[in-house]
Amino acid sequence: MTRIIAGTARGRRLEVPAGVGTRPTADRAREGLFSSLLSLLDLDGARVLDLYAGTGALGLEALSRGAGTATLVEDDPAAVTAIRANVDRLALPGAYVVPQKVETFLANPPEPRYDLVLLDPPYETVVEPVLETLVPWLAENAVVALERRTRGQDPGWPQGLTPERSRRYGEATIWYALA
């Protein structure tokens, strides 16, 4: 069972799995994220990796703003079903759904390299090992955007990622780092 929310790709509605397991990025935070990204990289033709994709909202928003491809990685079966429905509904070319754990995906050889990585993991996820494993997947001058609980600890960025800024949106803070 899914529910419909107002969402991505210029106001189109997205499916979200029922329950509390998927926490979509709020519209205000998503708009702030993409406004900040405009000052950090050119999305036109960019390769985007959306880890812990949930509904796919962030990766699909990147596609709607000119990204060339978006790889959406999610392991929750209900979320994968919602992502596939959202990809079909929006009909944006370049969306690839990968139904597996983020750690499993990142254990593969790092190809292609990504220009933008969006991470919105469950708040209880320890992200530092994921960030470290992510570094070889990054293109030169890539941007990483990580959403975390505002009241949580600042992320520990591994060598290869330089913290750039953070922006707070109520209960969520988005952290930006550059490769």
- Spatial CB neighbours of 154, under 8 Å, sequence gap ≥ 6: 166, 175
Helix (H) or strand (E) holding 86: helix 77-90
Look at 169 and 73; give whichever has higher pLDDT: 73
171, two tokens: 């209960």
pLDDT band at 162 (very low <50, low <70, confident <90, very high): very high
- For the whole model, what pTM was predicted? 0.89
CATH 3.40.50.150 corresponds to the domain 2-18+25-178: yes
pLDDT at residue 2 is higher than 60: no
Within 10 angstroms of residue 79's Cβ, the number of other Cβ atoms is 23
pLDDT at residue 66 is higher than 90: yes
Note the pLDDT tens digit of each residue in 79-121: 999 999 999 999 999 999 999 999 999 999 999 999 999 999 9
Look at 103 and 11; give whichever has higher pLDDT: 103
